[in-house]
A and B are shown apart, each in its own frame.
Chain A
Amino acid sequence: MSTRDEDIGASVMPPDLLAGRDLALEARALCLEYSERRALDAVNLQVPRRQVTALIGPSGCGKSSLLRCFNRLNDEIAGCRVSGEVRVLGLDAYAPATALPELRRRVGMVFQKPNPFPQSVADNVAFGLRLAGLRSRLEIDDRVEAALRAAGLWDEVRDRLDDSALRLSAGQQQRLVIARALAVEPEVLLMDEPASMLDPISTLRFEELVVALRERYSVLLVTHNMQQAARVADYTAFMQGGRLLEFDATDRIFTNPRLRGTEDYITGRMRETRG
């Protein structure tokens, strides 16, 4: 079903926007259905390597669904059918030979709702490390601390590493799951509204983190906060009604998007749309 048609996405994105860039993620003609209800419609998206790409769009437009295609978490949802091509770090994610644990270790995910395990704070962060076969206590402790520091949570939890993670506040939980994802050092990070519950300072810290992550990770960030997308993203993709409508450099999207739809969305306009 892969169509190497060069003008795929041409209408979505200026022709040589990503010329010469390595791609971390790529979706071609990606369609997704939840028991016959279409949630993604021929999505073409290219996420450049070691850059931050923001994914914006109204609620229910399919952002989370799209994200779940890149680590194949949609496989877990009964009745979910995916067609089209998904490439992760150059490999076909839906190829039969793809080892899912391996894929998911390389593609970390931070969920829309914080989902810490009912375990201690430290165990939460160490979860992925232990899965990866790390056994040395010392090394685990080090990496847990590093991840918590990176997520800006260390100072708040250093004395309560053995407390239940569920006792943390919502914002702390959100940073905890970020730390959990960072701890395994994936190559790509999928973040689904990771800062929705953070206070302004923590949000800024988080944004700093994302910008710093750019050095080593490729980040695809879903956000409903336009300013956040504008602040941290190199590229921004706009989705609506299951379609990816516009992809461009963030500067361009926020000063002069090509589509009325994008403009209406980011400037908060309402218009009778054809759906």
Chain B
Amino acid sequence: MDRLHLGQHISQQFNSELAALTRQVLAMGGLVEAQLATALEALAARDLRQVAHVVAREDEVNAAELEIDARCTQILARRQPAASDLRLVLAVVRMVANLERIGDEAERIARIVEKLGNAELPEHYTFKLAQMGSLVRDQLRGTLDTFARMDETRALERLRRDREVDVLYKELTRLLVDLMQRESDRVPAALEMLWGARALERIGDRCKNICEQVIYLVRGKDVRHTGLSRSAAPLPELKQ
């Protein structure tokens, strides 16, 4: 996994600090991934127990963010990292912020179950939402995987796959707007579903951000706001 040669510092201490940092990020990623999965299951099954579970674990996500940030601050102050080490720390700080937001979105999805009560929606809609949910879950898992492997080409692929989420989101939005226009008594439930779809779409964007950070981390190239996800351009050259 050590494509950045993080384990080759002369200082063993630094090596283990960086290793611990990546481990923590992956652990937090795992946590957030689980939150999203639970939230989606809760939504599918209208299971309030699982909702409570998600809400309860949200604190763990926040705590993880704080801890990782503190660790990064420490590394910056004491190691004054440069080059890939510096990029790792910066990328981690940004990724963790995104992960925390993903955690927030997962909670929001879980809370929809409470709002919906036992309002019914046609099968067709819930299916679409579940489809979008599993796509986003897959995106999140894949994104975390690219970080774990420091694999910037996969990250680019993931980055570009976010469009699929966007397509689904637009489709669902259109359907829900139609529904609200036709059956006004279903508006509150449809609105909740719209919020859910929006949250998923946001998570997709956050995954995109994380993929950008993986590319920055490995290639040293900041690809934010470059339209990379919409073009088919290859990545910049890797160093010799």
Contacts and interface: CB of A to CB of B under 8 A. Distances in A.
B240 A259 contact: yes
A137 interface: no
B239 A267 contact: no
A262 B84 CA distance: 11
B8 A264 contact: yes
B82 A230 contact: yes
Nearest to B80: A227
A224 interface: no
A164 to B, nearest CB: 38
A34 to B, nearest CB: 28
A135 interface: no
Given A256-B83, A257-B83, A258-B239, A268 B14 contact: yes
A41 interface: no
Given A230-B82, A255-B87, A257-B83, A268 B11 contact: yes
B82 A269 contact: no
Question: Which of A264, A266, A269, A271 gathers the greatest number of chain B CB atoms within 10 Å?
Answer: A269
Interface in A105-131: none
Interface in A212-232: 226-227, 230
B8 A266 contact: no
B10 interface: yes
Contacts of A266: 82-83
Interface string B1-24: 000010011110010000000000
> Interface SS of chain B: helix, strand, loop or mixed?
loop
A269 B87 CA distance: 15
A227 B77 CA distance: 12
B75 interface: no
Count class of interface residues, chain B: 10 to 19
A56 to B, nearest CB: 11
B217 to A, nearest CB: 10
B8 A256 contact: no
Contact of A260 (B11, B82, B87, B239): B239
Given A255-B220, A259-B239, A271 B5 contact: yes
B240 to A, nearest CB: 6
B81 interface: yes
Contacts of A264: 5, 8
A267 B9 contact: yes
Interface string B63-87: 0000000000000000011111111
Question: Which of A226, A264, A271 gathers the greatest number of chain B CB atoms within 10 Å?
Answer: A264
A267 B240 contact: no
A270 interface: yes
B86 to A, nearest CB: 6
B10 A270 contact: yes
B8 A270 contact: yes
A254 B8 contact: no
B240 A260 contact: yes
Contacts of A187: none
Nearest to B85: A267
B9 A254 contact: no
A262 B9 CA distance: 13
A271 to B, nearest CB: 6
Given A260-B240, A263-B239, A269-B10, A254 B82 contact: yes
Given A263-B239, A269-B10, A256 B87 contact: yes
Contacts of B240: 258-260
A121 to B, nearest CB: 35
20 contacts: A226-B80, A253-B83, A254-B86, A255-B86, A256-B83, A256-B84, A256-B87, A257-B239, A258-B239, A258-B240, A259-B239, A263-B83, A264-B8, A266-B82, A266-B83, A267-B85, A268-B14, A270-B9, A271-B5, A271-B8
Given A256-B220, A267-B9, 20 more contacts: A226-B80, A254-B86, A255-B83, A256-B83, A256-B221, A258-B239, A259-B239, A260-B239, A260-B240, A262-B83, A263-B83, A264-B8, A267-B84, A268-B9, A268-B11, A269-B5, A269-B9, A269-B10, A270-B8, A270-B10
9 pairs of A and B residues whose beta carbons are closest in the complex: A256-B220, A269-B8, A266-B82, A254-B82, A263-B83, A267-B85, A270-B10, A267-B83, A268-B10
